Amino acid sequence: MEYRRLGRLGRMNSVLIYGGAALSRVDPDEADRSIALALESGVNHFDTAPDYGDSELHYGRWMPEIRDRIFLSTKIEARDRDGAWRDIHASLDRLRTERIDLIQLHAVGDLEDLDRVTGSGGALEAAVEAREQGIVGAIGITGHGNGAPATHLEALRRFPFETVLTPWNYILFTEDGFRRDFEALVSEARRQDAALMTIKTIARRNWQGDRPLEGQRYATWYEPFDEQCHVDAAVSWVLSHEEITGIAMAGDVRLVPKMIAAERERMSRMDAEDVLLRAPDYSSPFIEMPI
């Protein structure tokens, strides 16, 4: 497992981040098997959010054993200060820990939402207070959608977030506007030495059909790549960008071992692009977003 420096936090974290969304629809035994596999494979960054089913509770069972050897991050769902303060303490209780290494303002993908969380009485105030009290180590921001990179660039201009979690994969790279916004974000993140993490690495397209969510094979809201050759290429392509400190693994436990295998068997960016150029039905997952 490769480890990269998490920006100015200085922590060396695994390039694969265990995403708690993978645990949203599993029982405790299945959750434990998946967490154990990640730990055995060298994953030391575990991320989650309050709305990922029972993921925080699943993590909480492991905390007495692993808390001192992992980097633990979760997210704030509320947009206002008081709601965010409740979110933070509820997460601490579910995770069975006294301190979260990174708290993130969650799913901030447009300027209107950014105004809410960073404005007077917004969620950011609670995150800052939690950091001042020592129950949170760092503050980050996450988001989905075509507007996420531009929104996160503006976020870094308003507040020195230590981390950013934003979408990036090969098909998004081919979209001129998205690529320009992402490259501008990379430049600012480098200037501030903020850690840049990404999501949607193995997203293939939206689920297809009139009622796509009823027939989906995975717990992800988008259809992922699941053939190992495509997963290998998608993971290799994103990790070939040295500015990326880590990628969140996809939100289904069945995809976790495929991404772990892909990290081990890396290919060059050129070879990865060749595979992805020939991947069938490959398109942005943001053509149609779930409500």
Count of positions (residues) in the chain: 291
Does pTM top 0.85 for this prediction?
Answer: yes
What CA–CA distance (Å, rounded) separates 91 from 95? 6
Minimal CA–CA distance to 254: which of 24, 71, 60?
24
The pLDDT score that the predictor gives to residue 288 is: 79
Domain ranges across the chain: 3-277
Question: How far apart, in whole angstroms, are the C-alpha atoms of residue 28 and residue 170?
Answer: 34
Report long-range pairs for 78-84 (Cβ below 8 Å, ≥24 apart). Answer: 78/123, 79/113, 79/116, 79/117, 79/122, 79/123, 80/116, 80/121, 80/122, 80/123, 81/121, 81/122, 81/123, 81/125, 81/126, 82/126, 83/123, 84/122, 84/123, 84/124, 84/125, 84/126, 84/127
pLDDT at residue 32 in the model? 98
Establish how many alpha carbons lie within 13 A of residue 133's alpha carbon, considering only the half-sphere containing its beta carbon. Answer: 13
Q: What is the pLDDT of residue 289?
A: 76
Calpha distance 12→71 (Å, rounded) = 9
pLDDT for 96 equals 98
Mean pLDDT split into 10-residue runs, the chain, 291 residues: 98 98 96 98 98 96 97 98 98 98 98 98 98 98 97 98 98 98 98 98 88 74 96 98 98 98 97 97 88 59
End-to-end CA, the chain: 36
pLDDT of residue 215: 63
Q: Quick check: 175 and 284 in contact, CB under 8 A?
A: yes
At the fourth CATH level, the homologous superfamily of domain 3-277 is NADP-dependent oxidoreductase domain (3.20.20.100)
pLDDT score at 287 = 87
